[in-house]
Structure 1
């Protein structure tokens, strides 16, 4: 599927801003310096959950309290798992890490040239939620990050209790979640975390949740040729999938943990591909590290 309405640039050309890079260590140090003491965003508080037995509408925007512009990668994580205020720089002693970010509609129009100048080299952008919502700032964020020289990808905020994995995957791919082998597009990503509208596991059994994720993953793969990156938190994964280990062989892991170390990973993954280590810092949105050097990031984009 085409990455955007613009035609792709010829192979071998340099994207605007591609040379505006700061050293990785300096960029990560700047990001880490702001982690300690970061407070929860004012918009992160959830409304009261729906009463037990309340039927969910098949069109989520009709649901009382529906707030997709407040749902983003990690919007529920700090409330459930907290932050320890540590610095991720210790991880740089063991491996090269490449700094990046993720954004959603709350960030609005992002100053991508400044983000690139400050060292950001990749970005994930929220595209969709459920089967009805699209990020109104997606075009500026997705295309703008590309124009500034970042490698970027799109992610979907999952609502597994509302509709099937295949239905949400098709909505996602049809509204920004595609992939192109241009070296500048990350695999599509599935954001699956604590339910912002009620019970953490969306009312699904562990086996049903595993089936839902598999349905989404297979559909994205069939549509794009790439298995989606899975964004999640270890505790949520253990609780809601029974610590299922079957996705590690195909799906890259994007782990959420606001700490100085990545900690225990979900079953099935021996390492993380991305780590969201803070929900505020140098870059707009959340702060992320790719587990490798920039050439490996490019290789992931190329598939």
Structure 2
């Protein structure tokens, strides 16, 4: 059985929760609605998110999307709502779902909805560098092509109505339109319950962000140097990468240093990816490419003792 973590999500429709009791009962994460559209803020967001963070749960927030409005303005609305609470380990979600009457999707093509999501995600990533930004969305939205690739997915599907965490954990991991989901919202009764397909410790590490987006070429191009993470002032090079891999235990110390990004260096990067929960969640454990965020994560493992 795949290791999982348990969580819930809340909005103004739910009263204040006893988050410490929920954590003691096995909860690992919780998300709260922060905003909607261009101006609306959820009136209970501050109450919910303060409680979630105070209990030591992995915290996150979501924004309900109106793709037929300005993505930039909606991103600004969300950023303003969460900026006092966001930080390392905070998860950001775009709630991309159609109202039953379609009013928030009215007049848009699939390409336009996808473009809206792309702009919103980019703006939130820019506002909160290194933090995870994902999409909560349905099977129909995924099938319609509304969802950009390479984005963590939080997926709602209720096959049983009311259900226990144990039942969801024993079920097959959903894969809508062949997409890998990181979180599954499996029931809304009596509250929105979710599982994440990472163990609690792996989820905490994944939530720290700073992982590659998978778009780097399969040859080594030195990324921008990660400020404050290096043991010396050497420029990022294949040799510097090899030294970091050795220090983190992903390359044998006996391997000779080389200016080339050869098979042994690539194998070390793959070993790093295979051990890192964020890459496992994204199905990129065999990727030999490493970019700026992966470089930073590797250096933390190697040198931030």
Please indicate the TM-score interval, normalised by the length of the shorter structure: 0.5 to 0.7
Larger-gyration structure (1/2)? 2
Deviation at 1:197, TM superposition (A): 4.1
d(CA) in 1 for partners of 2:30, 2:72? 25
Separation in 1 of the partners of 2:29 and 2:16? 17
**Of 148, 152, 176, the match for 1:265:** 176
Match of 1:50 in 2: none
Q: Could you state the TM-score of these two structures normalised by the residue count of structure 1?
A: 0.60
Task: Find the aligned partners of 2:101 and 2:40 in 1 and give their Cα distance.
Answer: 15
Q: What secondary structure does 1:141 align onto?
A: helix
Q: Indicate the SS of the match to 2:116.
A: helix
Alignment CA distance shift 1:196-1:173 (3 Å): farther
TM-score (norm. length: structure 2) = 0.60
Structure 2 matches for 1:37-186, cutoff 5 A?
A: 93=1, 95-161=2-68, 163-176=69-82, 179-181=86-88, 183=89, 185=90
Residue deviations 1:7-66 (CA, integer Å, cap 9, x gap): xxxxxxxxxxxxxxxxxxxxxxxxxxxxxxxxxxxxxxxxxxxxxxxxxxxxxxxxxxxx
Q: CA 1:116 to 1:227, structure 2 compared with 1: closer, same or farther past 3 Å?
A: closer
- The root-mean-square deviation of aligned C-alpha atoms, in Å, is 2.0
Q: Are residue 234 (structure 1) and residue 234 (structure 2) matched?
A: no
Does the residue aligned with 2:113 lie in a helix, a strand or coil? helix
**Which has more helix, going by share of residues?**
2
1:204 aligned counterpart, secondary structure: coil
For the residues of structure 1 that align with 2:204 and 2:143, how far apart are their CA atoms? 31
Equivalences for 1:279-294 in 2 at 5 Å?
279-281=188-190, 285-294=191-200
CA contact (8 A) 2:187 2:193 kept: yes
Does structure 2 retain, via aligned residues, the 8 Å contact 1:220–1:227?
no
> Structure 1 residues 152, 266: closer, same or farther in 2, change over 3 A?
farther
CA contact (8 A) 1:101 1:288 kept: yes
| Aligned match of 2:302 | none
- Choose from 254, 268, 277 the match for 2:154: 254
**Runs of 4+ more than 4 Å apart:** none
Query: Per-residue deviation at 1:215?
Result: 0.8
1:181-218 Cα offsets, whole Å, 9 max, x none, are 2x4x2x21100012244358432101111111111011
Q: For 2:126, what is the secondary structure of its paired residue?
A: helix
